[in-house]
Structure 1
Amino acid sequence: MSGILWFIRIGFLLLLVGASPQEEREYVRLYYPNGNVKAAGWIADHVREGYWYFYADDGTLEREGHYNEGRPSNWWIYYDAQGKPAHKCQLEDGMKNGYCLKYTEGELSSASRYSKGRFVKEWKDLKSFKRENSLLDLY
């Protein structure tokens, strides 16, 4: 019987040693000296992960977007002083990679394409943009 217990104990220890540690994930808020929120989002294994919000010291939203392994990725939205979207950009590893949409007074005014941080082309109207691109690329 002790041989079976020994086998079970060794198997349990092997499971413990081979198990990967649980990812630490917590929602954090960073603050300005005046008490207003500066940034809020998820931290996983000591890096920004998931969706984040960034605010000016007066409390207005400046930008929001995704982090992947500590780098900005996917869509990011940047706001003007009135709280309206000024532009939205697709990012990968912190660089523009995909489309950037610019807004004037809340209305779409132009679209640009970037590849690995390099400017490719700009369209000033939706008709010309749709002629050369698929709207599905914006999702």
Structure 2
Amino acid sequence: MAVPQKKTETIDGYEIKYHADGLTRWSKGKVEDGQPVGYWEWYRKDGTIKRSGYFDAGEPVGKWITYDQAGEPYKVTDRGAGKG
């Protein structure tokens, strides 16, 4: 059985994907040449931020932050400097 595509739209250069309900935001960030670039955020269904981090040509780089249910940082992972 195929997994349905998430509803996606582009607003002011940011690609926004939505949870399966099509209403609540799942992720937000920029895409260039089909690859995520720059700062991205992911959200829970209740709208609180779940994770954030940076991409360099599709590769995760720098500090990635995971947030608790209240949206407060509780874990930081360093993904390195990347290609640049």
| TM-score, length-scaled by structure 2 | 0.74
Give the helix-richer structure, 1 or 2: 1
Alignment correspondent of 2:52: 64
Q: Work out the CA distance in 2 between the residues paired with 1:51 and 1:86.
A: 19
SS across alignment from 2:79: strand
Aligned partner letter, 1:45: D
Per the TM alignment, residue 33 of structure 1 is displaced from its structure 2 partner at its CA by 2.7
Question: Which one scores higher on RCO, CA 8 angstroms, separation ≥ 6?
Answer: 2
Q: Work out the CA distance in 1 between the residues paired with 2:61 and 2:80.
A: 4
Larger Rg: 1
Per the TM alignment, residue 93 of structure 1 is displaced from its structure 2 partner at its CA by 8.0
Identity %: 32
Counting matched residue pairs gives 69
Alignment correspondent of 2:35: 47
Alignment correspondent of 2:17: 30
Kept after mapping to 1: 8 A contact 2:37/2:55 = yes
Kept after mapping to 2: 8 A contact 1:75/1:90 = yes
Q: Work out the CA distance in 2 between the residues paired with 1:92 and 1:40.
A: 22
Give the strand-richer structure, 1 or 2: 2
Q: 1:91 aligns with which of 72, 79, 83?
A: 79
| TM-score, length-scaled by structure 1 | 0.46
Q: Work out the CA distance in 1 between the residues paired with 2:76 and 2:37.
A: 19
Report whether the alignment pairs 1:73 with 2:61.
yes
Unaligned runs of at least 5 residues, structure 1? 1-25, 95-139
SS across alignment from 1:29: strand
Aligned partner letter, 2:40: W
Q: Which runs of 4+ in 1 moved over 4 A?
A: none
Per the TM alignment, residue 92 of structure 1 is displaced from its structure 2 partner at its CA by 3.0
Per the TM alignment, residue 82 of structure 1 is displaced from its structure 2 partner at its CA by 1.4
